[in-house]
Amino acid sequence: MAVGAHPDDIEFMMAGTLLLFARRGAEIHMWSIANGCCGSDVLSREEIASLRWEEALRSAMEAGAILHEPIAEDMSITYDLNLLARVSAVIRSVKPDILLIPSPFDYMEDHTNTARLVVSAAFSRGMPNFSTEPAVEPFNKWVYIYHAMPYGLTDPLRRVVFPGMFVDIGPVFKKKVSMLSKHVSQRDWLERSQGKGAYTSFVEEMCRTLGKMSKRFEFAEGWTMRSHLGFSPSEKNIMKELLGDLCLVNEDFENWLGWDCGNHA
């Protein structure tokens, strides 16, 4: 299950890997927590939210994904108990094996709060004493959580973020771009509001940059596995197991993780 803050977030940073999972026989789900109601300076909140849902449906249809309805409005994804209860209900309903979610170091609070909410929802998946809205029975099984790269490949302080793994999305890159192109309403809006012209070209640039970082792939998406604590066995990396040679572990990142603080004071 890929979870983004807004319609088109998944297509920007996650869709290639999601499509590769589908090629391996996985049932794939897409969910934007917010409805995109602030994504226009021409249409009303209701009009743009309706249009963006239609665009998301077309994208999910191309991917062969199950699409889940948004539960919040733009700029209202806050880390609070009420929204967490609603996010948890969706997670319990889907019972995902793998969660693809935004970076905790993204440039926008809606994105980072989405990551926090989904992590907490997954952590509480088996807690009968945590109430969801609506009420959904807890489930007990492993879940593997992977954070995508931040939009622009840097954190909010402009520092480059390096992924723990690179995924070769070359085989599905055209389909990823085609999915993104379904979000027609956002091309002009992003250019006017954020200076992001050439909507799909910006995605190509990010994926090429990640490919160069990998020193192996032409187009790549980057991922970092969240700590296994509370979620999954420590020794298992299911993304690498399922995608095989299409998934390259960043050895420099892994070496950094193994750095012995006690010997390097």
CATH number, domain containing residue 224: 3.40.50.10320
Reading the block at residue 40, the tokens are 């226009």
pLDDT at 258: 52
- 201 domain residue, yes or no: yes
Model confidence at 256: pLDDT above 80:
no
- 264 domain residue, yes or no: no
pLDDT at 262: 39
* Number of domains making up the chain: 1
- 128 domain residue, yes or no: yes
What's the mean per-residue pLDDT of the chain?
93
- 40 domain residue, yes or no: yes
What long-range pairs does 193-201 form, CB within 8 A, spacing at least 24?
A: 193/41
Q: If residue 36 lies in a helix (H) or strand (E), which one and from where to where?
A: none
- Give the pLDDT band of residue 67 (cuts 50, 70, 90): very high
Q: Going by C-beta distance under 8 Å and a sequence separation of 6 or more, which residues neighbour residue 206?
A: 12, 149, 152, 153
CB atoms within 10 A of CB 75: 13
pTM reported for the whole predicted model: 0.93
Instruction: Read off the pLDDT of each residue in 68-73 and give the average, rounded to a whole number.
Output: 98
Match 């640039």 to its residue by tokens.
Answer: 205
φ/ψ of 43, rounded to 5, equals: -90, 160
**41 is in which domain, residue-wise?**
2-258
Model confidence at 196: pLDDT above 60:
no
- 263 domain residue, yes or no: no
pLDDT at 252: 83
- 265 domain residue, yes or no: no
